[in-house]
Chains A and B, each alone.
Chain A
Amino acid sequence: MIEVRELTKRFGRTVAVDGLTFHVKPGRVTGFLGPNGAGKSTTLRMILGLDRPASGEALVGGRRYDRLRHPMREVGVLLDAGAVQGGRTPLGHLSWMARAGGVGRDRVVTVIEQVGLAGVARKRIRGFSLGMRQRLGIAAALLGDPGVLLLDEPVNGLDPDGVRWIRELLREFAAEGHTVLLSSHLMSEMELTADHLVVIGRGRLITDASMRELTAVRDVFVRSSRAADLATALSAAGGTVAAEDGGGLSVRGLDPAEIGDLAARQAIPLHEVTPRGASLEETYLRLTAREADR
């Protein structure tokens, strides 16, 4: 459980995070979305006690992060997979982390195998691809066997197998009752992985809702050879009808059954009736565009 309360951060005159409040609950994968510069990374850094908020607070399991006795055993963190010293090996890097975090050396071997870096455990990180560094960062996050994962853009640079692997890992982790906060700008990936979304823009909360709510049925797309007659009939029945560029009508306020019955009563032929859900991407763009206009 992560609680963010009225968190505010300023850099000089710029307000990077502005009175942000949200909760990350256990048992589900929470996605953290926002355009570049929206304040995602700053928020994550404040949760971890790295950046000092101007006001407000963030609690992990009811306590401030810097008050946790063994933070690595409670929270697994991946902020920036590139933030490693290239001269070290994965074994060396994870060994100092294990020692600092009060975690046994056997975990180092376990996580190296878990992320598939066993073959390069003694090679210098300098020569690693972004995907391999990402795997090392995930190994570091899993090292303390934590109950909370906090990952900033973990699928960046991963190949499709890697993306699928991390998706399954996170879903299993959440299904065990653990807490996952995952930031990403990859909407399609988020749609597959996250159960719940926190969307921010310009440091403010735009929405905090379940994926189901955000991708709910939006309208019904209808084609007919007598589109004009159909539009009149649907409007009369209380629907909101708009003609689409490629022909066909977008209908809101009526469900497919109502549209079909109405058309049958007036003997208007229907060529297509398709209920359409908003893709996460559309919803996201709509939400963030509204924020940008303000």
Chain B
Amino acid sequence: MIDALAAEWLKLRTLRSTSVVLAVVAVVVALMALLAWWSANLWDGLSPGDRDHLVVSPLPDVTHMLASLCLAVLGVLAFSGEQGTGMIRTTFTVLPSRGRVLAAKAGVVAAVAACTGLTAVLATYAAGRLLIGDRPIRGQSAEVLSRQLPHFLAMSLSITMFALLGLCLAVITRSAVAAIATLVAVWYVLPIVGYNLPAPWGDRVGSILPGALADQLAGTGNPDAVTVALLPPLAALAVMAAYVAVPYGVAAVLLARRDP
């Protein structure tokens, strides 16, 4: 298993798309810093009455949302590139245990996603604190890091879930396009659908969508979010685990049964 993990790590590291995805995440963080700088400037120029009307989305949450999609794409490409070129057959001749290959890929993708996600969210938080300082802009939390860390860890976990979902969808669909289209549907389209369902279904559906789980896991309802918090943290964690476990199970069975 160590050999398989090391090999998958080498593969992911030497894949060009990996650096592209990570660069996009870095750009997202930079944009958040720019937004923080712009909000601070705007705030300084506003009259006290107008300052009440200034609302800026919580920056780490925006990073979390965008990084989720980026790392989901990384998860997709970790498999679809091999499937598309046929290199997957080389992988399976070197490592005939397909379950082990999938586990190694999942392990490497999860590790990269968790580290990248946490780094991106923390960097966004740091940039926000640095540039906004103690200006009480609505939407921006002035809480110290130790109070926010559980929320950031939940975001990192959620980003990891998206990355693994991407990997499994790529294995199941055997197509980067189909996998990414499914992800975008889950990430963007379903929340809109959920939001427009009649009560109480809108909230019920909205609370179990993958993008809504990080806030519920950390127990911090986000007042500006499309979705609401209905689930207690442990239930949110269970739903998160199901978003990984079910597709992973399907992917493992299909990988073992289908001829590559």
Taking Cβ atoms with an 8 Å cutoff, the residues of A that contact B are 45, 48-52, 65-66, 68, 71-72, 75, 77, 79-80, 82-89, 92-93, 95-97, 99-102, 140
Contact = CB atoms under 8 A, between A and B. Distances in A.
Nearest to B87: A83
Given A50-B89, A79-B89, A84-B87, A96 B259 contact: no
B259 A50 contact: yes
A261 B87 CA distance: 64
Contact of B259 (A51, A68, A72, A84): A51
A51 B93 CA distance: 11
B204 interface: no
Contacts of A99: 3, 6-7, 10
B97 interface: yes
Interface stretch (B12-20, B156-164, B188-196, B245-253): B12-20
Interface of B: 3-4, 6-8, 10-11, 14-17, 81-82, 85-87, 89-97, 257, 259-260
21 contacts: A45-B259, A50-B89, A52-B257, A65-B93, A65-B96, A71-B96, A72-B93, A79-B86, A79-B93, A83-B85, A84-B85, A84-B90, A85-B85, A86-B85, A87-B14, A92-B14, A96-B11, A97-B7, A99-B3, A101-B94, A102-B3
A75 B85 CA distance: 22
A51 B259 CA distance: 5
A97 B87 CA distance: 11
* Chain B interface helix/strand/loop/mixed: helix
Given A84-B85, A92-B10, A102-B3, A140 B90 contact: yes
Contacts of A87: 14-17
Nearest to A67: B96
A72 B260 contact: no
B4 A100 contact: yes
Contacts of A80: 86, 89
Which 7 pairs of residues, A with B, have the shortest CB-CB distance? A83-B86, A100-B7, A87-B16, A66-B96, A92-B14, A96-B10, A51-B259
A96 B91 CA distance: 9
A50 B17 CA distance: 27
Contacts of B10: 92, 95-96, 99
B89 A66 contact: no
Given A99-B3, A100-B91, A66 B86 contact: no
B95 A100 contact: yes
A50 B7 contact: no
A183 to B, nearest CB: 15
Given A45-B89, A66-B97, 4 more contacts: A87-B14, A93-B14, A97-B90, A140-B90
A18 to B, nearest CB: 17
A108 to B, nearest CB: 11
Nearest to A102: B3
B259 A71 contact: no
B89 A82 contact: no
A102 to B, nearest CB: 6
Nearest to B96: A66
B63 to A, nearest CB: 27
B90 A68 contact: no
B77 to A, nearest CB: 10
Contacts of A45: 89, 259
